[in-house]
Chains A and B, each alone.
Chain A
Amino acid sequence: MFLKKYIADVFGAVRSLLKGMKMTGYYFTHRKEIITQNYPDHRETMKLPERFRGEVVMPHDEKNEHACTGCTACELACPNGTIKIITKFDISPEGKKKKALDTFIYHLELCTMCNLCIEACPTDAIKMAQNFEHSVYDRSKLTKKLNTPGSKIREGIE
């Protein structure tokens, strides 16, 4: 019985090693599988994966409206204080006071691209962009204001 297991071990090992070599051999002979892109050369045709996380942005539609209610769920979800939300009170035509976003401050230099803020957002107001060329000469340029000036919340989002 011992001998049988011994021989089975040897053959199993050889088979699994050959399986691995088949895989790398396939990659070696099939250059089309190469996933590296010649980054600075093919910058225009560069393709990034859909779920690539470059930086947090706030999409605005053509009427300069966003979906942020100023609920600060993202600020609370952020593990390292990247997001700071300043709220204000809008007065509606009926004279009611309503909480709204004033400034969405985003510190790119602190962000770890963990995606927790996007998951926490109840209205999908923020998302991850694919831009990754973030180098600047001054650190203060990395502190960004995400909502554009004069923007307001889209109708019907509570």
Chain B
Amino acid sequence: MSLEGITNSIHSWLNTTFNPTLALLLEFVIVGLCAIGLFAVLGLVLVIMERKVSAYMQIRRGPNRVGPGGSLQTLADTIKLTMKEGLTPDGADKFLFNLAPFVVLTVAMLILAPIAFAKGFQMWDVNIGVLYVSAVSSVSIIGILMAGWASNNKYSLLGAMRSGAQIVSYELSAGLSIISMVVLTGSLQISDIIASQQNGWWIFKGHIPALIAFVIFIIAVTAETNRAPFDLAEAESELTAGFHTEYSGMKFALFFLAEYVNIFIVCAIGATLFFGGWMPFHIGNWTAFNHMMDYIPSSIWFLGKTFFLIFLIMWFRWTFPRLRIDQLLNLEWKYLFPISMFNLLLITLMAINGWHF
């Protein structure tokens, strides 16, 4: 009983019971509800995970009062946030102010579309999947700028501007490292990229250049999701909370949720490109070993890899000190960008000559 089987049986049942148009519309509704459900669960799980990870890394205990081991802490926090007043400041641009959190969350939802969660369990296998992801993910900066501008607060605006400069510049090296994987695969479609890793993940097949591309990718997406050590957009010590200073209650919670969902999404993309998405761990032609690995469900493989990358990003956050804005732009334009250009050349050479496995 795989996820693919469940979706197929639901699909055929809907098509035999209703006419095709209605069935399609019902499928849209089901998929939308699943996406919202996934968002809620991700928000709860990732926040408690972050708090526990940070606590253990700083030799603390973390939340340990609500539920067993503090596992219900985020549920309690969510209830608290929903009961709070969603205040709109007097001087704010009311329409943009209230629209901004939804823009950010909608973008996060849109990127969910081409991600393959398990074998044959994907919302939309578009043929330009990777391009779609990198194009849509840069829309979220509009939501952040909107929030910063509409708040009518100098700290919010400063935070939003910093965030803009940061996302625009780090988009480049993230894009280049994605392209280097596309060069190896020869396709932009997510299902093709996963299928090409049938005999080994790209991070192993692509030698050291693939490893460099992965490191650059993980640095760039940490910067793109505005997390420490690149959290200049929020910078508690200087800008109180950056672009969401003026937000409260559920509107603040939406920004918070969008941040964590974005982390999940970029890690899912990273897992797809470098670690083969839902593809089990295969080594070349060892059929016996490969069959054994196939017994573990593909959804477990996908979630395991994604959560490993999320843990890696959390590890960064609780270890490294924050960069200054000029150091941040130095790192991108003087180091990551030239290195990823050079790396892309190497990988292209490798792909042309077939030096990878």
B327-357: CB near A (< 8 Å → 1, else 0) gives: 0000000010001000000000000000000
A33 within 8 A of B: yes
Instruction: Report yes or no: B61 in contact with A33, Cβ–Cβ below 8 A.
Output: no
Instruction: Give the contacts of A42-76 with B (CB-CB under 8 A).
Output: none
Q: Which of B53, B58, B59, B320 contacts A17 (CB 8 A)?
A: B320
B28 within 8 A of A: no
Instruction: Give the contacts of A2-30 with B (CB-CB under 8 A).
Output: 10, 17, 20-21, 23-25, 27-28
Q: In whole angstroms, how far apart are the Cα atoms of A134 and B7 in the complex?
A: 63
Instruction: Report yes or no: A38 in contact with B58, Cβ–Cβ below 8 A.
Output: no
Q: Which of A23, A34, A36, A38 contacts B319 (CB 8 A)?
A: A23
Helix, strand, loop or mixed for chain A's interface?
helix
Q: In whole angstroms, how far apart are the Cα atoms of A33 and B57 in the complex?
A: 10
Instruction: Give the contacts of A77-102 with B (CB-CB under 8 A).
Output: none
Q: Which of B56, B64, B320, B339 contacts A27 (CB 8 A)?
A: B56
Q: In whole angstroms, how far apart are the Cα atoms of A99 and B61 in the complex?
A: 54
Residues of A within 8 Å of B53, CB to CB, are 28
B318 within 8 A of A: yes
Tell me the nearest residue of chain B to A18, going by C-beta: B319
Instruction: Report yes or no: B61 in contact with A27, Cβ–Cβ below 8 A.
Output: no
Instruction: Report yes or no: B57 in contact with A28, Cβ–Cβ below 8 A.
Output: yes
Q: Which of A10, A20, A34 contacts B59 (CB 8 A)?
A: A34
Nearest Cβ on chain A to B357's Cβ, whole angstroms:
26
Q: In whole angstroms, how far apart are the Cα atoms of A27 and B61 in the complex?
A: 12
Nearest Cβ on chain A to B219's Cβ, whole angstroms:
10
Instruction: Report yes or no: A27 in contact with B59, Cβ–Cβ below 8 A.
Output: yes
B169-190: CB near A (< 8 Å → 1, else 0) gives: 0000000000000000000000
Instruction: Report yes or no: A20 in contact with B60, Cβ–Cβ below 8 A.
Output: no
B18 within 8 A of A: no
Instruction: Report yes or no: A35 in contact with B319, Cβ–Cβ below 8 A.
Output: no
A31 within 8 A of B: yes
Q: A24-B57, A34-B61 are in contact. List 11 more A-B contacts (CB 8 A).
A: A20-B319, A20-B320, A21-B316, A21-B319, A24-B315, A27-B57, A27-B58, A28-B56, A28-B315, A33-B59, A36-B60
Please report A residues at the B interface, Cβ cutoff 8 Å: 10, 17, 20-21, 23-25, 27-28, 31, 33-36, 38
Q: 21 A-B Cβ contacts within 8 A?
A: A17-B319, A17-B320, A20-B319, A20-B320, A21-B316, A21-B319, A23-B319, A24-B315, A25-B315, A27-B56, A27-B57, A28-B56, A28-B57, A28-B315, A33-B59, A34-B59, A34-B61, A36-B59, A36-B60, A36-B61, A38-B61
